[in-house]
Structure formats: structure tokens, C-alpha cells
Amino acid sequence: MPWWSPQSHADRRPLLLQRGAIKRAFRAHFEGQGFTEVECGALVTSPGNETHLHAFQTQAIGPDLEQRTLYLHTSPEFAAKKLLAAGEHKIFEFARVFRNRERGRLHAPEFTMLEWYRTQEPYTAVIDDCLSSSQVIPRRSVEVLGAQRLLHFGVTVSPLRDATRPGTAICLFSDLTTVMELEEQLRFKDALARLGELTAGIAHEFRNGLATIHGYGRLIDPQALPAQYRPYVEGIRQEAEALGKVVTNFLNFARPEQVALAPVDLGAIAQRAVDDLQHDLPAGTRVTVDGGFGPVLGDEVLLRQVFGNLVRNAAEACELSGRVPLVHIAGAVDRSARITRVNVDDNGPGVKEPDRERIFQPFFTTRSRGTGLGLAIVQKVVVMHNGRISVGSSPGGGASFQLAFPLAAG
């Protein structure tokens, strides 16, 4: 038989018609539920890294004959999730996708995949899906707002085929929260490492340049200048000094830190940090340290910096709002979760909801003389210790920084 004949199409035509009917039914189904049909580009810049998926690679040639490697997508997932991140809630796509190194009855190198995404639904929506379709819904991920934090679950819902109890389903949940948090930490560590490599070099050059400006600035004797120029020299010196400090702080933040991990007593470190700060805190400030602190593996110098920054921030926030700072550092050992929790609470104005994610970003500050690096450094050190940090409100409405560190074995 030749490689193509009209007959081979006649054979398949019923399938083609069937396919069209299925697509129309799906489209009507999704559109009826308020989904938007999307069409993500098939040519992508990154093949995505999945062990069992291999993308077709191709060369794009620009009008300037410049060559660039592009890939045919193996799934619209990345692009679709970008749309979700940009604010779409319900989207679906019949995506033509391409997978290299696949050939078999169920594995074609090119096929159409129906993919749909839905966000901001209660997790009970998957139970409705299961009951209305009478199908098993495997491995959905759902988020549930727990008492203190967002919990992530994997859930598989199976309809119960029991005539005496129609409309019943079994849900199997697995708690993925720690896995998700670990992934987030790893991404953060990754991002830090890249940031460090990229920017430390530039910042270094910057500092050299600033040192030169500062040095020449010092060599100019203001007294030898006409009086009207003196403030300019002073301005150059001050600005160069201030910028130098920003760059040094940034380098401290971005530099890959060497941690010397040894068993340490977090309570004693917190107390020591408070003692070191004593003279820097506003008059009348009271800092108390109490509760239980299990043994953790840590770097004493870096951890002291963590508590120092948190207490300093608390005192500054209270002072700015006209209150005498009361800071409470409380430890609690959670043996079943094998962590030590430490809360640093204050009686200040607290951190507003929209700022809670951002305060940990480098350079985020609401203070006119702030650098915005304090909490970025705190978070970096905590993550280097495989710990976590988040911010909430203290019982009195102030800020409550919640830290958790893994307990040292033994």
C-alpha cells in the first residue's frame, strides 16, 4: 500500500467526525461552566525539565539570521499556569503537543491534549466533579487554609459504587504541606545562589568605583575651595559613604555564606543577642525570653544576627508608633514534628496583610532610614538552617514573627 491513499482517509473519517463531536461536547461543557478557552504558543524557549518527557528542538532564524534554539511544547502547563498567575481562574485548551522519543499504541510523538485548570474553588469541588462524572479523580492538589498556615493536600476521589448509598465518594488525602514548603525553600535557596553569583560581581565593581570617588573626595580640601563649593564636596562624600554602606549590606546579603553548624541552645543565643543590643534600644524597652528551646544545629553568630534584627525591628516599629517596646521571645519544642518553634512578638503596630510577603524581600522598607535588608538576611539565615519564618499578628495586634527550626537528632 502506498504511504498515502484516499482510501485510508475514508476509513478514518468516522473517527474524525466523532472527534469533532467530542470536542464540541467538551467545549460546551467547559463554556457552560464559565471556563475560557485559551491557546498557548507551541514554540517555547524552555523545554521544561521532566525526566520522562523529551521536547523536539528546533532552530528559529531571525531576520538578522541570528539563530536561537526553541522547543515545541510537551504540554501547555507552564504557559497555562502563567495565565493563572496573571489572574485567570478557569481556563481550558485543546493543546497540540509534541513529545520526542515516544512511539507506541498509547504514545504518539504528536497528539491533542485537553488540559483544564481551575483555581479558587473549595476542595469539595473535586468531590462534585467525581460524583457528577462517576469517574475516579486522581491526584488533584488542593489548598486548605489551616489555623496558622496554608496546607497543601493531594487528594484522590473515587465514587463509591454502592447502590445503597448513591452520591457517596471516598477521598484519600495525603498531606503535601512539608513537601511544598521544602520545594519553596529549595527554590528560595536556588534563587539566592543565582542572585549571589549574578550581583555580587557587579556590587563588587560598584564598591571599588565608590571607594575611588570617596577617596578623591577626601583628597579635596574644602578649605582650599571657594565657600560656595564646599557643600558640594561634603555632599559627594556623604552620598558616596551612604552608597558604600548599601553595597556592603547587599554584599553581606547576597554572598554565599559558610555556615558552621554545631549543636546550639537557641534560648541562650536569643538572650545573648538581646544583651548585645541593650544599649541600642530605646529607653524602657523590655525584652523577655522564655519557654523551651530544643537543641538545634546552628551557626551561633548568624543566629544571633537573626534575633538581633528581629528585636531591633520590633523596637523600631514600637518606637515609631509612640509605644514603649515590649518584645517577647518564646520557645516551644514540638517533638512530634521534630522542630523547635520560636515566636518573636511585639506590641507595635503589626505588619499589614499585603506587606506580609514583601517584608522579606531585599530592599523592602517602610522606614525613611531603612535599608530593607534586615528581614531578607533573617530569612536567608533561617533557610540556611533548614528552618522557616513567617509573620502574623501577636495577641495584642503587634507583629508576631514565627520561626521553626528542625531539632537536632538525639
Ligand X SMILES: Nc1ncnc2c1ncn2[C@@H]1O[C@H](COP(=O)(O)OP(=O)(O)O)[C@@H](O)[C@H]1O
**Can you give the binding site for ligand X, defined by CB under 6 A?**
309, 313-314, 317, 346, 348-351, 359, 364-367, 370-376, 399
- Answer with the entry of Mg ion, ligand X, none that 156 interacts with (C-beta below 5 to 8 A by kind): none
C-alpha cell at 361: 524581600
User: By CB under 5 A, is residue 249 in contact with Mg ion?
Assistant: no
Q: Where are the beta strands (DSSP E) in 109-226?
A: 110-118, 137-145, 150-159, 169-175
C-alpha cell at 39: 491557546
* 343 CB-side CA count, 13 A: 16
CB 353 → ligand X: shortest distance, Å? 12
Q: Which of 138, 133, 175, 143 is nearest to 157 (CA)?
A: 138
- Answer with the entry of ligand X, Mg ion, none that 315 interacts with (C-beta below 5 to 8 A by kind): none
* Euclidean distance between CA atoms 404 and 330, whole angstroms: 12
CB 327 → ligand X: shortest distance, Å? 8
Contact string (CB under 5 A) for Mg ion, positions 350-369, x = contact: --------------------
- Strand 90-98 vs strand 36-37: parallel, antiparallel, or unpaired? parallel
CB 280 → ligand X: shortest distance, Å? 13
Residue list 287-326, contact with Mg ion (CB under 5 A):
313
Among 298, 374, 387, 398, binds Mg ion (CB under 5 A): 374
CB 254 → ligand X: shortest distance, Å? 14
C-alpha cell at 111: 497528539
Task: Measure Cα distances from 5 to 8, 12, 18, 150 in Å.
Answer: 6, 12, 21, 58
- Answer with the entry of ligand X, Mg ion, none that 277 interacts with (C-beta below 5 to 8 A by kind): none
Nearer to ligand X by C-beta: 185 or 365?
Answer: 365
CB 155 → ligand X: shortest distance, Å? 36
| Distance from the Cα of residue 94 to its chain's centroid | 30
Nearer to ligand X by C-beta: 74 or 313?
Answer: 313
* Euclidean distance between CA atoms 154 and 97, whole angstroms: 26
Nearer to Mg ion by C-beta: 254 or 296?
Answer: 254
Nearer to Mg ion by C-beta: 313 or 347?
Answer: 313
Nearer to Mg ion by C-beta: 74 or 313?
Answer: 313
CB 319 → Mg ion: shortest distance, Å? 12
Please, which residues bridge with residue 403 across strands? 342, 389
Who's near 351: CB < 8 A, 6+ residues apart?
A: 359, 391, 393, 399
Please, which residues bridge with residue 188 across strands? none
Nearer to ligand X by C-beta: 74 or 347?
Answer: 347
Residue numbers at the binding site for Mg ion (CB under 5 A): 313, 374
